[in-house]
Each structure stands twice: as structure tokens, then as C-alpha cells.
Amino acid sequence: MRFPVTFEQFTKNSEKAITYLLLFVVTALYIRAERQSNLATAQCEKRLVKCETELRKMSAMLKTQDSLCSSLVTEIKIYKALGKI
């Protein structure tokens, strides 16, 4: 890769040198931050999928338990009405 400014021009004009160096550093930091952000997003998406799966399982279990509880309450009411309890 060829830079638009040569080393001799850098020695003559230090402001250009510092400007190019800062531009390079900022670009490198931006790329690094972008990669870390993408990695964190991918990890969060994996965890989200796992949590959603667990939520579906727990919801199904809750519905089953709720149905069971409801049927038991109804059965107890019937037994009370018949005087067996």
C-alpha cells in the first residue's frame, strides 16, 4: 500500500504526519470496536435463542401444571358437593 504522503513530506510538515497517524489510529480503533460489537451481538443472539427455547419449555410446563391444578380443584369441589370430604 502506498501512502499519499512520503516520509520527506512528513519531516517537512509535522502537522500532516500527526494528522495521518491520528487518522490511522482512529480507523484501527473503529475497526476493532466494530469487530467486538459484532462478536458480542452474535453471542447475545445465541443466548437469546437459548432463553427463548427455555421459555417455551417452561410455558408448556406451566400450562400442563395449570390444567392439572384446575382439574384437581374441580374434583375437590365435586367431592365437597357430594359430602365425601
pTM (whole model) above 0.75: no
- pLDDT tier, 47 (very low <50, low <70, confident <90, very high otherwise): very high
Does 16 map to a domain? yes
Spell out the residues 6+ positions from residue 9 whose beta carbon is closer than 8 angstroms to its own: 16
Does 76 map to a domain? yes
User: In the numeric block, which cell numbers belong to residue 39?
Assistant: 462478536
- Identify the domain containing residue 21 by its residue range: 7-82
Does 2 map to a domain? no
Q: Which residue has the cell 367431592?
A: 79
- For 55-79, what is each residue's pLDDT tens digit? 999 998 988 898 888 888 888 988 8
Spell out the residues 6+ positions from residue 85 whose beta carbon is closer than 8 angstroms to its own: 76, 79
Q: Are 16 and 10 in contact, with CB atoms under 8 Å apart?
A: yes
Instruction: Choose between 33 and 12: higher pLDDT.
Output: 33
Q: Are 66 and 73 in contact, with CB atoms under 8 Å apart?
A: no
3 state SS of 6: coil
Does 73 map to a domain? yes
Does 62 map to a domain? yes
Domain count, the chain: 1
